[in-house]
Amino acid sequence: MPSPHSSATTRALPADLFSRSVHEVAPALIGAALLVDGVGGRIVEVEAYDREDPASHGYRGRTERNASMFGPPGRAYVYRSYGIHALLNAVTEDEGIGAAVLIRALEPLEGLDRMRERRGLERREDLCSGPGKLTQALGIDLDLNGSDLVTGPITIEPPPADWPPIELFAGPRIGITKAAELPWRFSAAGFRSVSKPWPPGLRDTVAPRALS
């Protein structure tokens, strides 16, 4: 429920944010608000996939499935994982370049009742603690592949000013076998909603970067 005096909730992301390097966009999205029709929360975990990354869907070029990854920045790349789950990415960098940020976890903040209905679960920390869980909780499916992340229905906005600052961690990505050593997973410290805990000794703090 944004008050008319709260510029923080209506402030836009930098217009060119998604056109920047995926390695800049990924940590910048930690802490941002992700919403679909009033349901969503704060992004607490992401991973970066760049054009030269063997683990990226874009690595071997454009296919029917990954076409939106090569489209304009600031769009959604939604694909079906393991034949079952829909996973959400934010497309980055110039059109023609396959690079995207996988959204891996949210801290649920808005519309928790609808999340619980869709997920068939009660516990808050289980609602959005994984890339397939958050898409189910927010009702994101393949029909939103290619949709605009600024105009919606899926929107990503900067964190409202009254949300506390976040301590950012970087570490290895999850669930991949190729290029698994690259520290391109980013998460917010102190949230139970991250999809998996950090292995001890495999994390480093990163200075949070302002969205400007």
What are the counts of helices (DSSP H) followed by strands (DSSP E) for the chain?
3, 9
* Nearer to DNA among residue 164 and residue 200 (C-beta): 200
Q: How far apart are CA 45 and CA 175, in angstroms?
A: 14
Interaction mask 120-139, DNA, x per CB under 7 A: -x----x---xxxx--x---
Q: Does 65 bind DNA (CB under 7 A)?
A: yes
- DSSP secondary structure of 51-106: TT-TTSTTTT---TTTGGGGS-TTBEEEEEETTTEEEEEEE-SSTT---EEEEEEE
* Nearer to DNA among residue 9 and residue 147 (C-beta): 147
Cβ atoms of residues 16 and 94 within 8 Å = no
Q: Does 195 bind DNA (CB under 7 A)?
A: yes
Cβ atoms of residues 87 and 79 within 8 Å = yes
Query: Contacts with DNA in 69-88 (CB under 7 A)?
Result: 69, 77, 79-85, 87
Among 68, 89, 92, 145, binds DNA (CB under 7 A): 89
Instruction: Give contact residues for DNA (rule: CB under 7 A).
Output: 47, 49, 55-58, 60-61, 63-66, 69, 77, 79-85, 87, 89, 100, 102, 119, 121, 126, 130-133, 136, 173-178, 195
